[in-house]
Amino acid sequence: MIKKDISYSLAHKHNSLREVMKKIGKSGEQFALIVNEHNQLLGMVTDGDIRRSIIQGIAVDDPIEKAMNLEPISININDDDEEVIKIIKRSNKKINYLPVVDENNVVKDILLHDEILNILKRSPQALFLKNHITPDSKKILITGGAGYIGSNLVRELLSLGYHVKILDNLCFGRGHLNIFEQHPNFTLLHGDVSNARDVIKAIEDVYAVVHLAEIVGDPACAINPKKTQQINYISASLVARICKYFQINRFIYTSSCSVYGAAEETLLNEESSLNPVSLYARMKIESEKSILELKDNSFSPTIFRLATVFGDSPRMRFDLVTNLFTAKAIKEGKITIFGGDQWRPHVHVNDVAKAILLVLESPLDKVSGEIFNLGSNKNNFTVNEIGNFVKQVIPSVEVVTEETDVDKRNYRVDFSKIKTTLGFDTEKSVAQGIIEIHNAFKEGKYENYQDSIFSNVKTYQQ
């Protein structure tokens, strides 16, 4: 057993719930050991214990002894594998970690999930106890997890061993979630981010929140401006405030590069002026402000300004430029481009998931309170160029240009910050996304691509 630095996992009984949760966030684990001034073990507490205590009325500045487990299971520093196995068996509880103490009950080390599992593996007769060991993966809540980006993110996180919970009003149905619903690490909560009770129920045992739940896109937001303001701004602020109150440190909010609007600068970075031309973009800006204002030592929000997303996903959208052009080229043989000289940045939906995962696993001091443009400089293209990419894959398509109803948004975006700070770069090009969607049509996936389920505007008009 290699002795670890356990200082971040030790807290004093007089530390407040807030202080202990801060320690838990820094340690990267989901628990803290409560000790006295001599480091003697007094109790144990998990992040879930703290949140349940807050729900029950204990104040975040009350001492942690009000929330801790006073009878933690521990092992002695001299215990061999056989004795550890006996302790696990006698406990008859789920165990993620075991404090290691000496004869004076002073904490000397901590056995974590993988180390406990290795002990069981070395003793085949004890493998039946493996169900007593819960996976060492963290629980993530994704609001709007049944949507285009969310359903793809769910798939990625589950494949990596995360426990994933989604809170969604299921306005796009739930059929596309069938691929997840039998997964042991997946939980679906049918609810609304505008309802505080639904949000509080959803966050009780999670480590981080990724907030995606909103009305997405300029046309969809214009249908009902009052509802857009309620969901995209007021509800986003509500979710963030609830997360802060219940001591959820990691919070990711997906904004949009559309906040740059009709821009005059040649290449826009996170410090560039904002010039929104739609209600959707204005609500993004207001949400960014309200969330970043909440930042403190126990709440560390990260903002992503997404490029225009493309690519295949469990809940597919055909109201995004690359996806729509490809579908029309395949099914109708014709693309109509309005204007065409407008610049747009683009990012594959898989790369969005990759970036979110990177922030979830990054040290907090690198991502707390930061805004990152999410995309890649190599995927900045005009709308005309997107049409040309489609024609390269589907040569028979007719491309028509019209100068009426031109979208005023025009922006090229610099993605250097996320690459420099986190080492992130995208993997998939627009051309690869077009080929991916083309292949999906060949497989017969989207024969009815014009159905309302594939369009945010059509869904919200119903």
Q: What integer pLDDT is reported at residue 1 of this predicted model? A: 46
Q: How would residue 134 be classed by pLDDT, with cut points 50, 70 and 90?
A: low
Residue with tokens 């080229």: 329
Residue 234 has pLDDT above 60, yes or no: yes
Q: How would residue 126 be classed by pLDDT, with cut points 50, 70 and 90?
A: low
Residue with tokens 């493998």: 127
The two three-digit tokens of residue 59, written as one number: 């104040």
Residue 393 has pLDDT above 70, yes or no: yes
Report yes or no: 307 and 386 within 8 Å, Cβ to Cβ. no
Residue with tokens 């004890």: 126
Q: Which of 117, 142, 166, 138 is nearest to 48 (CA)?
A: 138
Q: What integer pLDDT is reported at residue 213 of this predicted model? A: 97
DSSP characters for 394-419?
STT-EEEEE-SS----B--B--HHHH
**d(Cα 435, Cα 389) in Å, to the nearest integer?**
10
Lowest mean pLDDT among 111-120, 123-132, 253-262: 123-132
Give the DSSP letter of residue 141: E
Rg (Cα) of the chain, in Å, rounded?
25
Q: Domain 7-132: give its CATH code.
A: 3.10.580.10
CA dihedral (349, 354, 360, 363) positive or negative: negative
* H and E: helices and strands count for the chain: 17, 18
Give the DSSP letter of residue 262: B
Q: What integer pLDDT is reported at residue 330 of this predicted model? A: 95
**d(Cα 178, Cα 365) in Å, to the nearest integer?**
38
24-36: per-residue pLDDT in tens? Answer: 877 777 899 999 9
Query: pTM of the entire structure?
Result: 0.88
**d(Cα 169, Cα 146) in Å, to the nearest integer?**
9
Q: How would residue 90 be classed by pLDDT, with cut points 50, 70 and 90?
A: confident
Lowest mean pLDDT among 28-32, 33-37, 283-287, 449-453: 28-32
Q: What's the mean pLDDT when you consider all of the chain?
A: 90
Range with the largest mean pLDDT of 123-127, 205-209, 288-292: 288-292
How many Cβ atoms sit within 10 Å of the Cβ of residue 77? 13
Rounded to whole angstroms, what are the CA distances from 243 to 21, 194, 370? 12, 14, 18
Residue 367 has pLDDT above 50, yes or no: yes
Beta strands 31-35 and 41-46 are antiparallel
Beta bridge partners of 310: 348
Secondary-structure breakdown of the chain: helix, strand, coil percentages, each rounded to the nearest 5: 40, 20, 35
Residue 16 has pLDDT above 90, yes or no: yes
Average pLDDT over residues 297-301: 90
Q: What integer pLDDT is reported at residue 244 of this predicted model? A: 94
- What is the side-by-side strand order in the sheet with 371-374? 186-190, 163-168, 139-143, 208-211, 250-256, 300-306, 371-374
Q: Which of 12, 14, 24 is nearest to 50 (CA)?
A: 24
Domain with CATH 3.10.580.10 in the chain: 7-132
Q: Domain 139-461: give its CATH code.
A: 3.40.50.720
Residue 56 has pLDDT above 70, yes or no: yes
The two three-digit tokens of residue 439, written as one number: 């292949």
Domain with CATH 3.40.50.720 in the chain: 139-461
CA angle 162, 257, 382 (to 5 degrees): 115
Average pLDDT over residues 90-94: 75
CA dihedral (259, 261, 265, 267) positive or negative: positive
Report yes or no: 231 and 215 within 8 Å, Cβ to Cβ. yes
Chain centroid to Cα 39, Å, comes to 36
Percentage of the chain modeled with pLDDT above 70: 95
Burial of residue 121 (CB within 10 Å: 0-12, 13-18, 19+) is exposed
Give the DSSP letter of residue 213: -
Residue 132 has pLDDT above 60, yes or no: no
The two three-digit tokens of residue 119, written as one number: 């002990």
